[in-house]
Amino acid sequence: MAIRFDNRVAIVTGAGGGLGRAHALALAARGAKIVVNDLGGALDGTGGAAASAQKVVSEIKAAGGDAIASAASVTDFAAVEAMVGEAWAKWGRVDILVCNAGILRDKTFAKMELADFRAVLEVHLMGAVHCCKAVWEIMRQQNYGRIVLTSSSSGLFGNFGQSNYAAAKMGLVGLMNALGLEGAKYNVHVNCLAPTAATRMTDTLMPAEVQAAMKPEAVSPAVLAMLHEGAPNRVILNAGANGFERTYVSLTKGVHIPLGPDAPDQVVARFDEISDRNGDLLPQTAGGQGGQELAKAGITRTTRG
């Protein structure tokens, strides 16, 4: 085991089962001390009990590891702060955060209540924000941190009946990009996982043979690769059924169309050229788009923005 996490402290949310449990066990097997966080609620986020988190803690301890349980809801910032405080009090540092907690409230957008849209955003997106905020200053001060946010192909590529889930999951990509930039000088790296796995979220969606191939344990190697000391920063890594891929958000070279009454018509007429991915770029910041557009106009940008 070349990758080790000895003396590292990791918080894994939604770790009472499925992907989170697999991540927590994998980290513990390589030496990390684990906060196993799970509200223990139903798939839609209702209810809650600490039993599922405690069960995983017992598994880790039985294997010789060190772990504590937390039933904090990631939607409750005060509870998240208390969870982080408990980890700090016990071990004196927090090195790793895996934001995995999530719920599902699937419906077509036409039938979806706004309350269900907000609930999914609160758990997936704001839950990750709360957890990141609670560990951010600790990681900055110790000049070390590794964070993995759990995105999804539903957000990256879309999925019917999951507008709330997709919006939250793509929002996490934006959060990763911004935090990765802000954390870089403090050696805090932030990445995104886009997993495909058979969990209770997919029990009714996948046939038995597919579920057998898509074990949560087959995804965890990607998480460990994004959490070790030499981990990348601002990467979207896809994983499932022992397959590993990477998603890029790229920008085509595009065209320059002078402002005029026919500019909209030119955009339509040249849309294939605008869409041509030959030689597309990977901007490192939001300013990359503006810089490319100004370059096509023959202007060299000398000011920030």
My answer on whether 30 and 176 are in the same domain is yes
In a domain, 37, yes or no: yes
Same domain? 59 vs 76: yes
Quick one: 179 and 190 in the same domain? yes
4 located within any domain? no
State pTM to two decimals.
0.92
Q: Are 50 and 98 part of one and the same domain?
A: yes
- Write out the two tokens for 226: 């994004």
Distances (CA, A) of 90 to 87, 106, 168, 228: 5, 39, 32, 22
Residues 124 and 273 in one domain: no
The enclosing domain of 26 has a CATH number of 3.40.50.720
Residues 186 and 99 in one domain: yes
pLDDT tens by residue, 125-148: 999 999 999 999 999 999 999 999
> Where is the domain boundary, 227, 247, 267?
247
Q: Which of 247, 267, 289 is the last residue of a domain?
A: 247
Point out the domain boundary residue: 247, 266, 281.
247
Domain span at residue 49 reads 9-247
Percent of the chain with pLDDT over 90: 86
Tens-digit pLDDT profile for residues 222-250: 999 999 999 999 999 999 999 999 999 99
Are residue 48 and residue 195 in the same domain, yes or no? yes
Catalytic residues: 165
Question: What pLDDT is recorded for position 302?
Answer: 58
On whether both 66 and 179 belong to a single domain, the answer is yes
Same domain, 159 and 297: no
Which portions of the chain are predicted below pLDDT 50? 303-305
Residues 47 and 196 reside in one and the same domain? yes
Between CA 305 and CA 291 the distance in angstroms is 9
- Say whether both 54 and 84 belong to one domain: yes
Are 297 and 170 in a shared domain? no
Total structural domains within the chain: 2
Residue 2 belongs to some domain of the structure:
no
